[in-house]
Structure 1
């Protein structure tokens, strides 16, 4: 995944990730927040516990919380894997590093969990050893502390693996999309120059001009191949110009111009011709009604189907079928 990515926003749609993060926090029973490589939050805290809200509301203890988060992120990057640790309040937290092409972008911080004692002896580091000597409303805080979710270490690791897989998938899809968009932009610039007969941006060898122009034309045809294939396989469905442009990763306006240049007809006429060709087969080989055939090949209205059929074939679908059945020589039927 090579590319120049400046910050978290260039590899992760923060607005969409916030929605996913909120859902993950709710279903896993954890608190989640995403920070950049400096430790600065890029999302809002999802499902932050009342205990931690109170702790972070005090400047002194909030500063300690931030130090714990920073240290957790550093350890995750150093180990290049999820890092589970105990904060200064002996609460279980974890850092999931976001690393692309060996570059660290930030972390997804997950936690605010109490470890359920189940005989597991795996050591979990307490990364900030200072104790909190005083808490306001200590009885209330002890109660809120007891209400934190209790999980086994195995459960915590499963949750971290789930979130890690989701983050990696989203980041990889985002990078792939950005790459395709960039390639599409580069291709559009080249093709736009050709369509305008402006070759200033294309280096042509004087001895190979015809060959190079032929390659460009073939490249334009290749761009349209997914659309042609889609039309031929899905002619019976509703197909729009926007659908086909998206399939080819170009704008609708550019698709329309390129399609006409390469095929000699509008996309809508090409689609109609394919539909009518299939309708002729059904008229010849089945006893289905005109209404049934029109629906089967993609026309929702039999009247419109009849008008388009006559415009292309010179006769109505009914007359076409009758001529075939009567084996009349009055018309030459082209199959």
Structure 2
């Protein structure tokens, strides 16, 4: 590029060229650029190894690269072109061993070289004696078997003026620069967001209240979770969802994602806020809903189990008994008995008042 891209930081996130360029998408852009510019393009990493397919490679160069000896020289030219572009910290135009015009556009971020976009496989449309273009590899090469065919393919190479070549390089340079800078901005926003979450987690760790609240008589009362409490804002989306969808299959990881925190941290602050593990809270909520149904409806145990999210009545009964100390059927009998006694007492009180 004309100048290295300056950024505030360079994280380990940027380990190689694939981390700053979406190669699959870049290949599509590269193919389009090659088509409209009439130039061949390929992108290589800092070692000179291609990370994209060649876009619009000429027949002449395909023939040259099909021979192992001349292909090795082509690779040396590419590598040397990239090195010179990095050394100069700018786009570098040169002649290859076949006297074809090529160029290297370096991708440099904070003085770190990630790779090059190699452009070229064209001939000059006019003689530019006023501007020297270095022939990057001057050793002689072996003559290919079919010279007539090679001369014909050589004559078919596109011809562009040097001014046009420079304009194309600037265009590709600016496109790459924009893509890379957008990638860095997005990563910086992501990093800032992660830092903000971490600071919020640290604040919550310090400010979260105790699991139990002491009463004046020295006894303790189980804390009732209040999703409207300011310290509980981070858990509020999950708690509201659980309360409204307790009969569905609810997974801890999904609830953590809903709150934009990790599952581990979700479990940690959930326990601190509710005094219960996530699974215990969910089960207790189901049991509380089941108790209401046992007291107010004549639905069967199986029907109630399914309604509160238990597929198996036997498992529901075992869980209910572990929480309440008695089976659901027994709980219903006691509740109804107490309800009848309450109604009798109420009626007696009303008659006495009269």
TM-score range, shorter-chain basis? 0.5 to 0.7
Aligned length: 209
Which of 96, 121, 129 does residue 138 from structure 2 map onto? 129
SS at match of 1:199: helix
Aligned to 1:227: none
Kindly indicate whether residue 58 of structure 2 is the aligned counterpart of residue 58 of structure 1. no
2: CA distance, partners of 1:62 / 1:128:
13
Aligned to 1:109: 118
Kindly report structure 1 stretches of 4+ aligned residues shifted beyond 4 Å. Answer: none
Aligned to 1:157: 166
1: CA distance, partners of 2:144 / 2:110:
44
Give the number of the structure whose alpha-carbon radius of gyration is greater.
2
Which of 191, 205, 209 does residue 198 from structure 1 map onto? 205
What's the Cα RMSD here?
A: 2.6
SS at match of 2:130: coil
SS at match of 1:198: helix
How many angstroms does 1:148 deviate by? 0.6
SS at match of 1:41: coil
Give the TM-score normalised by structure 1: 0.58
Which of 80, 89, 93 does residue 89 from structure 2 map onto? 80
Aligned to 1:265: none
Aligned to 2:42: 33
After superposition, the Cα gap between the structure-2 partners of 1:189 and 1:141, relative to the gap in structure 1 and judged at 3 Å, is same
Q: For residues 1-335 of structure 1, what are the structure 2 equivalents within 5 Å?
A: 1=7, 2-4=9-11, 5-118=14-127, 120-192=129-201, 197-199=204-206, 253-254=258-259
CA shift digits 1:191-234 (9 cap, x unpaired): 3565xx43399xxxxxxxxxxxxxxx8xx9xxxxxxxxxxxxxx
5+ residue gaps in structure 2?
Answer: 1-6, 209-229, 234-255, 261-354
After superposition, the Cα gap between the structure-2 partners of 1:21 and 1:200, relative to the gap in structure 1 and judged at 3 Å, is farther
2: CA distance, partners of 1:12 / 1:200:
42
2: CA distance, partners of 1:87 / 1:127:
6
Give the TM-score normalised by structure 2: 0.55
